[in-house]
A = this chain, B = another copy of it.
């Protein structure tokens, strides 16, 4: 099912307005467990000699090109690529019109081994000061983790599958920034092969602008992109009180300026609210630490992956849960984020087809088929959101919501938030 990998994403448009086929207001609809059943084709690998994996022609030709926003505010880009015959140059030449490259930037080169596999020469080059790039806006992919699933292979095939997957996504990832977050399949803890350093392949291959947001680790970081402040958390790094990620997030939330970036979005891999049988309650550990911050900071949307199905929550919280007393269920909370699990991009493992019955009160819509979400931010108060079923190649908007901004859509709540912060 490799064709679907590229759609494990939340596509994020700033300027375009799509026709909204069947919009529902945020709190207006009853709980829905979709009855759609996707025809269950077998999840077989695309052969390695397929066209989509092809190596570019020419001696030492760059391959596996991908880009990500390179700074905090969207005036830079990190360009990454791999050369295989020799290290070659890590320089990028660029300019303001085609064929006229007046500027250049120097990057860095790295490589690594995994079992007996030796990677190519991996280049990362930060290109800065891009007024023009910023102004064009355009689409951004928010990727909620589990990239290549190369960890389902063994020995040297792990590295080989990273290479083929990275060539496969180039058609998209070289032309629009993908905002990466890491999933459990990136950990690659394989002691039987002598590989125990978590995220080794991922960290060598995928750069993030973590230093620009004051993060000490590429696995968690933040970017401000157009009208959204996007925070990427690492489900598989320490996040309890006193850890670097915890301290970083506490500071980062203070830096959010809803005047500059009205929308506040968080990405993580393991969902905090999901009623799917697969990976049920794996997000509890992070919920216990961060949920109250998400509510207090009026986060608009939290996207997660991990579960191979789609689910959207109502605005609910469980912050009154107390190990000695208090609530035991999540309760409606207008200050809470909407939690969206969109781990349904497709992969070797197939769909997670079993949801807990009855559907919990916090669950607004759920369906186990392949798909992806799109979010179009219209202005500081409203955004159009769709979850699109990939019904065997066709995009079908299936869950549609108009989201109201958690800060700007209510003057009263905005004033309250100002008082708290």
List the interface of chain A (C-beta within 8 A of B). 184, 187, 189, 191, 196, 198, 214, 216-217, 235-244, 247, 270, 273, 275, 279, 281-282, 284-289, 318, 321-330, 356, 360, 362
Q: Are B236 and A216 in contact (CB under 8 A)?
A: no
Whether A242 and B187, one on each chain, are in contact in the complex, defined by CB atoms closer than 8 angstroms, is yes
Tell me whether B321 and A189 are in contact (CB under 8 A): no
Asked if A323 meets B240 with Cβ closer than 8 Å, knowing A216-B196, A285-B286, A328-B328, the reply is no
Number of copies: 2
B196, B288, B324: the one contacting A356 at CB < 8 Å is B324
Give Cα A356 to B323, complex, Å.
12
Residues of B within 8 A of A362 (CB): 324
B281 touches A247 (CB 8 A): no
Contact partners of A247 in chain B: CB under 8 A: 189
A195 closest partner in B (C-beta):
B216
How far is it, in angstroms, between the C-alpha of A273 and the C-alpha of B324 when the chains are bound?
9
A292 to chain B, nearest CB (A): 11
In the complex the two chains form, what is the Cα distance from A275 to B287 in whole Å?
20
Residues of B within 8 A of A356 (CB): 324
Enumerate 14 A-B pairs (CB-CB under 8 Å) in ascending A order. A196-B217, A196-B244, A236-B240, A239-B285, A240-B286, A273-B323, A285-B289, A323-B329, A323-B330, A324-B329, A324-B362, A325-B329, A326-B328, A327-B328
A282 touches B241 (CB 8 A): yes
Partner of A216, one of B191, B243, B360: B191
| Distance A204 CA – B196 CA, assembled complex (angstroms) | 19
**Complex alpha-carbon distance, A198 and B216, angstroms:** 10
**19 new A-B pairs (CB below 8 Å) besides A198-B238, A287-B323?**
A184-B241, A187-B242, A187-B243, A189-B243, A189-B244, A191-B214, A198-B243, A198-B244, A236-B243, A239-B285, A281-B288, A284-B323, A285-B286, A285-B288, A323-B329, A323-B330, A324-B329, A324-B360, A325-B328
